[in-house]
Amino acid sequence: MSGQRRSRRTWGWHRLTDEWAARIVADAEVRPGELVLDIGAGDGAITAQLLEHGARVLAVELHPRRAAELRWRFAGTATTVIQQDAADLRLPRRPFRVVANPPFRVSSAIMRRLLAPGSRLVAADLVLQRAVVAKYADGLAPAAVRWLRTWDVRRGRALPRRAFVPPPGVDCAVLVVRRRP
């Protein structure tokens, strides 16, 4: 596909509406000053809500035009935009959270990276395909025996297809991940 434009459906990104972004961020209970990654930031629906809650945001977006628009939209705020493929993302070396609607095609790679030994992740609220959420919440994902000792993983809010533009062809939900004390 080199040189050809790919549709949003091809790379698995479905823009979250502002209303649903607000609900997801409120559910995540982000505190002022926390470092939060918005992986697959798109047009910044989640980023804007994170900023309203006082977070310091790392907005990760692969698409050059959207990354540039994010830089313009959030200039002068506590946001750093990183133009990079989410599957190759280097995680912060200090404690951080994730509140994101990542592209579906990279959800497994993101989860492997977030739950890997040495990750400084404290909490994550990820909008994923409902089947993927069920796999992780039920402890059926790869390496679950290892990471379930460290992480509490559960199903969060279900999202209707109308929560996205364009609507995905699958049901979605929030995967809630919290580091065990």
Is residue 77 assigned to a domain?
yes
Whole-angstrom CA distances from 101 to 30, 55, 118, 122, 150 are: 16, 17, 23, 18, 23
pLDDT digits (tens, 9 = 90+) for 108-160: 999 999 999 999 999 999 999 999 999 999 999 988 888 889 999 999 999 99
Residue 47 belongs to a domain: yes
Q: Evaluate whether residue 124 is within a structural domain.
A: yes
Domain count, the chain: 1
Is 34 within the bounds of a domain?
Answer: yes
Cα dihedral 127, 57, 20, 163 in deg (nearest 10): -50
- Domain of residue 132: give its range: 8-179
CA geometry: angle at 140 spanning 127 and 62, to 5°? Answer: 35
Q: What is the rounded (10 degree) CA torsion for 90, 96, 101, 102? A: 10
The answer to whether position 3 is within a domain reads: no
Instruction: Give the model's pLDDT for residue 5.
Output: 40
Q: Is residue 2 situated within a structural domain?
A: no
Write out the H or E segment, with its range, that includes residue 124. strand 121-129
- Give the pLDDT band (50/70/90) at residue 14: confident
pLDDT tens digits, one per residue of 121-132: 999 999 999 999
Whose tokens are 């607000």? That residue is 22
Judge whether 162 lies within some domain. Answer: yes
CA distance from start to end of the chain: 46
Could you tell me the CATH number of the domain that includes residue 134? Answer: 3.40.50.150
The tokens describing 32, both together, are: 């002022």
Q: Give domain status of residue 73, yes or no.
A: yes
The token pair at 45 is 């629906």
Global pTM value: 0.92
